Amino acid sequence: EPLFELMEAESQLLMLLVFTVLGGSMLGPAFAEARWQDFAYAAASLTVIRMVPVSLSLIGSGLKTRTVLFLGWFGPRGLASVLFALLLLERSGITHQQQVYSAAMLTVLGSVVLHGATAAPFAHRYARSVAERPGAPEHEEVEVHPLRHRRSAES
């Protein structure tokens, strides 16, 4: 068990190191050609473009506004942004490739910095606010994912 935990921790550390080096090497070209519009898009992407779809998907859930905002702020994100941007640039032949690249990299950098800096304080504040409302939908246990295929007892 201790050896397994050490291997897990080591693999996580090495993965973070690789992402840091790789990400750092990708930022130089992004900043070199970035325009104010790229920074504006990154800001919009981290707020409106992310939060609106999350908010729309939670209509009718009964969740409080604070929960919807929390999920929108920390919602879908990650390495997929970099991957999709690189795939788009490699295969589509679109014009303004540098601007797409800069906007994607600035969005990822903004996400890492802003979400990293706000994760602990926002999570603690959110946990306190939810704890003050026992019986709220946020306390309900999710037993079955609504979109998961259920196997019948005969299978």
Q: Is 155's pLDDT higher than 50?
A: no
For residue range 85-115, what is the model confidence (pLDDT) as tens digits?
788 888 888 888 888 888 888 888 888 889 8
Q: Cα separation of 88 and 143, whole Å?
A: 37
Q: Cα separation of 134 and 76, whole Å?
A: 27
Q: How confident is the prediction for the chain on average, in pLDDT?
A: 83
Q: Cα separation of 105 and 38, whole Å?
A: 9
CA angle 5, 10, 11 (to 5 degrees): 100
Q: What is the pTM of this model?
A: 0.69
- By the 8 A CB rule, do 68 and 58 touch? yes
